[in-house]
Amino acid sequence: MIPRYKAIITSLTALSPTVVDLVITRPDGLDFPEFQAGQYMTLSFPTHTRLRGPRSFSIISSPTDRSSLRFGIRIHGSYTSALRNLQPGDPVLVTGPFGQFTFDPARDRSAVFIAGGIGVTPFFSMIKTATDLKSENDLTLFYSVRSMDDAPYVSEFEAIQEANPHLRSVYAVTDGAVPQGSGNYVAGRINAGLLVQVLGNTLGSQTFFLCGPPAFMKAMIKTLQGLGVSIRSIRTERFGVGSQEFIERGTPIPMLMFATWGIMAMLVFGVVFKIERNKRALSASVPSSAVTLPAVNTNTTPNTNVNKNTNSSAVLNAPANTNTAPAQVKPAPAPTVTPTIPPVQTPIRPRTTVS
Amino acid sequence: MATHNISQTFTKRFQALGTTVEGGIRTDAKAAQMVFDEIEQQVKTFESKFSRFRGDSELSMLNANAGQVVTVSEDLMELLSAARDTWLMTEGIVDPTIGQALITAGYDQSFETLSQVSERTHNTSPAPRRTMADVDLDEKNRTVVIPPGMVMDLGGIGKGFLADRLIRRLEKISNDFWWSLGGDITVSGTDADGQPWTVGVQDPRHLEKDVYNLKPPAGCWGIATSGIAKRRGVRNGQAWHHIIDPRTGQPATTDIVAVTAMAPRALEADVAAKTILILGAKSGLTWLRRHQNFEALIIKSDSTTVTTDRMTRLLQIL
């Protein structure tokens, strides 16, 4: 069963006009379960009417310290607005961890994190983890913010960068003044020119992690692909508006950029063929208005007891070899489906039925 | 415990939980008989304790004492905890507190005894929006308080929860078995030919037929199908089915006819199928992809099918 924990809020801090930073601990003083950087938890606040429904939030703290869990949450909509009413000491139900959008220092030797807004939260955990482990992974963060007034965790990233010589950070400010005197800040959006300028000829050897709103993700994927980055090297997590909704692609769909038109034609033909077979199978099964009596399998004993409420056992304890052979899969009607048709004893075999 | 040189599959079928319970196991006759007897007893005990439709069940006692502190058995506390985990995992989509909504919708008695067309009148005023968060579970003292007016229904997760318990018992006898609680399947190991068990997937539009054969990969898997083709009816001229969307308290409006989900545990498969059905195909798949080793086959109301990549490779169209 999925681990579930009772926790309490230990701090709730407004990092910006639209972002709150939430820290929770376990009242028994124990650590939270093991998790991987980039995973998320489901939280529910049982004492707050509007916050009882469970929602998922990325963990921004590092798995190197599990004494508390930290979350960065953007205020948007009625649910997250209600988070402002939380108080330290309030109980929290925590379930998880979940998610496959994870950073593995051993696997992702050279990683680029591209964040749009609050999508930066899983990257905070990833970068903090690599730094805590003193790993020598080559890390680059591109963080797109609207303005420096609404740019959570920038100061903490700067502090981490001082401790991690293998981390580079670039903050793209799309709307508002750019801090002077630092080469880490640029005006405008993250684009192909900026990526090439920072990453140079290492573009092809990087693993790219993308997280942000859907439009941002789409633009970034298009930009990276335009630079020749393989979709296999791109890992994505999309944050929806309001509650955090994720779309993960653990196994990126291979691009067919270099396939010959002959292979593509064969694939298209195969897909069309499958769809047609599927449609035929389903259309053939549309119930007709005429009553069709079931075929009785003569190998089984018909159950003549119409009262399906009986609990009398029908035990077939003889050895059976009928469980797998498709040729013998000639099922009679399921007894509990149509009350007007007498139930018929069907072969005992694995079959998942609508419930 | 693994068994050796086993070639025979012994099978068993009985009625319980308002449905057909059946299974098969590759072992010797004596062990099979013993485990079948134990499982039948275990299933019937479970039903007697946790059915909402039995007035003397422990769950009915809990529902009858809403608003009061009730000390419950370890089994019920474990089941309620699992229900809360499920509620959290599905972000509230699978909620055991929908009992009143089920009654309002028309599912006020066991489906075995329920007429599919009924003109009886019901209080159709919407029930207050209560959720699992309103249920106070004190696992340490084994006490539960449910709010006045709430009716808990554990039918949504009960079969999956029970199946995972039965697996523990079956695994002590053999690695090769399958078990079905009303079509929610658990499979482990291989059949008499050393091949993965073949699981028929019911055609939701023609229930006596199968639409696919599913061959799960090695290991132990839960496979469940959820749909709106069964347990439905007409009440006061309005169509209803038993899949309630807790966000509205009404039977779910969905673009899906049936979902077959596969997951490492039976409860997970059961819950995944229901969640996708309620969320609809697009959002359901988004939710599914967040969970490792969860696979699904979705048959939509426009007769198209959607599958996860891995599931596609496991299916054989019939």
A267 at interface of B, judged by CB pairs closer than 8 A: no
What are the chain A neighbours of B182 within 8 Å (beta carbons)?
336, 353, 355
Under-50 pLDDT residues of chain B:
1-6, 107, 109-128
What is the predicted pLDDT for the residue at B207? 83
Residue type, B225: T
CB-nearest partner of B208 from A2, A324, A332: A332
Q: A11 vs chain B: nearest CA distance in angstroms?
A: 22
Q: Is the pLDDT of residue A206 over 90?
A: yes
Confirm whether B146 is domain-assigned: no
pLDDT in tens, A31-86: 998 999 999 998 988 888 778 778 888 999 999 999 999 999 888 777 777 887 88
Q: A331 vs chain B: nearest CA distance in angstroms?
A: 6
Claim: this prediction has a pTM higher than 0.90: no
Confirm whether B300 is domain-assigned: yes
- Tell me what the mean pLDDT of segment A347-354 comes to: 85
Q: Which residue has the higher pLDDT, B229 or A30?
A: A30
Show Cβ contacts of residue A30 under 8 Å, excluding neighbours closer than 6 positions.
none
Q: Is the pLDDT of residue A298 over 60?
A: no
Confirm whether B246 is domain-assigned: yes
List the single best residue of B7, B88, B168, B279 to mutate versus A (max A Cβ within 10 A).
B88
CATH number at residue B213: 3.10.520.10
Taking CB atoms within 8 Å and a gap of at least 24, the contacts of B127-132 are: B127/B100, B127/B101, B127/B249, B129/B249, B130/B97, B131/A52, B131/A53, B131/B87, B131/B92, B131/B95, B131/B97, B131/B246, B132/B83, B132/B84, B132/B87, B132/B92, B132/B95, B132/B96, B132/B97
Confirm whether B114 is domain-assigned: no
Q: Which two tokens stand for residue B178?
A: 């399958």
A50 at interface of B, judged by CB pairs closer than 8 A: no
CB-nearest partner of A286 from B134, B197, B205: B205
pLDDT in tens, A110-146: 999 999 998 999 999 999 999 999 999 999 999 999 8
Residue of B nearest to A3 (CA): B85
Q: How large is the ipTM?
A: 0.81
pLDDT in tens, A228-249: 998 889 998 766 433 333 322 2
Confirm whether B292 is domain-assigned: yes
What is the predicted pLDDT for the residue at B245? 83
What is the predicted pLDDT for the residue at B113? 46
Q: What is the rounded distance in angstroms from the CA atom of residue B216 to the CA atom of residue B199? A: 8
What is the predicted pLDDT for the residue at A259? 45
Contact B14 A314 (CB under 8 A): yes
Confirm whether B161 is domain-assigned: no
- Tell me what the mean pLDDT of segment A322-330 comes to: 32
Contact A326 B318 (CB under 8 A): yes
Q: Is the pLDDT of residue A339 over 60?
A: no
- Whether the Cβ atoms of residue B88 and residue A54 lie closer than 8 Å to each other: yes
- What residues form DSSP beta bridges with A240? none
What is the predicted pLDDT for the residue at B241? 63
Residues 182-221 of A with CB under 8 A from B: none
The domain containing residue B184 runs over which residues? Answer: 9-32+174-317
Q: B250 vs chain A: nearest CA distance in angstroms?
A: 18
Confirm whether B154 is domain-assigned: no
> Domains in chain B: how many in total?
1
What is the predicted pLDDT for the residue at B239? 55
B304 at interface of A, judged by CB pairs closer than 8 A: yes
What is the predicted pLDDT for the residue at B306? 92
What DSSP line would sit under chain B, residue for residue? ----S---EEEEEEEETTEEEEEEEES-HHHHHHHHHHHHHHHHHHHHHH-TT-TTSHHHHHHHTTTS-EE--HHHHHHHHHHHHHHHHTTTSS-GGGHHHHHHHT--S-GGG--SEE------SPPP---GGG-EEETTTTEEE--TT-----HHHHHHHHHHHHHHHHHTT-S-EEEEETTEEEEESB-TTSSBPPEEEE-TTSTTSEEEEE---SSEEEEEEEESSSSEEEETTEEEES-EETTTTEEPP-SEEEEEEEESSHHHHHHHHHHHHHH-HHHHHHHHTTSTT-EEEEEETTS-EEE-HHHHHHEEE-
What is the predicted pLDDT for the residue at A52? 78
Residues 87-146 of B with CB under 8 A from A: 87-89, 91-92, 110-113, 116, 131, 133-134
A296 at interface of B, judged by CB pairs closer than 8 A: no
Confirm whether B169 is domain-assigned: no
The alpha carbon torsion through A222, A224, A230, A234 (nearest 10 deg) reads -90
Q: Is the pLDDT of residue A295 over 90?
A: no
Q: What percent of chain A is modeled with pLDDT above 90? A: 28
A308 at interface of B, judged by CB pairs closer than 8 A: yes
Contact B133 A46 (CB under 8 A): yes
What is the predicted pLDDT for the residue at A260? 53
The pLDDT-based confidence of A184 (bands split at 50, 70, 90) is confident
Q: B61 vs chain A: nearest CA distance in angstroms?
A: 23
The pLDDT-based confidence of A285 (bands split at 50, 70, 90) is very low
